[in-house]
Amino acid sequence: MVKSQSSTLIRCPLPDVYGFVVTDFVRNYPRWSPEVKQLRPLSSGPLAVGWTARQVRVDQGRRTEADFKVIALEPERRVCFKGIKDPFVITYIFEPRQEHTQLTFSFELARLTFAMRPFEKLIRLAVQDGTERVVRDLKTLAERELGRNKPD
């Protein structure tokens, strides 16, 4: 199993950050995760438990396609996605910190294929780098765009 977690303080209220990540997921996810070249909902309506989507990613030159679903959704607390065929779980946790939001992002790869096992250390480093980049990019986008809505 390969698992990584990163956290950041976003200087915006929790309801705004939650809305940016969850309510506007289809629009914003490819923006904070630029490896996502295409995201297509397979379910209609807003994110809810059971909602599914297909993503096409290009990671370090390697193109992959994966379907995933929402397996947990607690309004203004957490959303969790799981690969339908691929063994990954992604979780976003939102915690209030006065008028700001503590965002924790975790990625878990349940198993590596036999062919990938010799590269486990490199994969762990890439996953850690990826979780750190996600929270950094999400923080930058959210603060820039949600901060615009605040009165001066």
Which DSSP string do the residues of the chain spell out, in sequence order?
A: -EEEEEEEEESS-HHHHHIIIIITHHHHHHHH-TTEEEEEESS-SS--TT-EEEEEEEETTEEEEEEEEEEEEETTTEEEEEESSS-EEEEEEEEEETTEEEEEEEEEE----GGGGGGHHHHHHHHHHHHHHHHHHHHHHHHHHHHTTS--
With bands split at pLDDT 50, 70 and 90, how would you rate the model's confidence at 115? low
Higher pLDDT, 110 or 150: 110
pTM of the prediction? Answer: 0.86
**Residue recorded with tokens 């947990």:** 72
What's residue 152's pLDDT?
41
- 101 DSSP β-pair partners: 10, 96
Length of the chain: 152
The reported pLDDT for the residue numbered 86 is 81
**Where is pLDDT greater, at 106 or 116?**
106
- Asked if residues 43 and 52 have their Cβ atoms less than 8 Å apart, the reply is yes
- Domains, in order of start, for the chain: 2-146 (3.30.530.20)
pLDDT at residue 149, as a whole number = 52
More confident residue, 80 or 124: 80
Place 34 in a pLDDT band, splitting at 50, 70 and 90: confident
What mean pLDDT value characterizes the chain? 87
Task: Please give the structure tokens belonging to residue 106.
Answer: 């975790």
What confidence score (pLDDT) does residue 107 get?
87
Check: CB of residue 22 under 8 Å from CB of residue 31. no
| Cβ atoms of 89 and 80 closer than 8 Å | yes
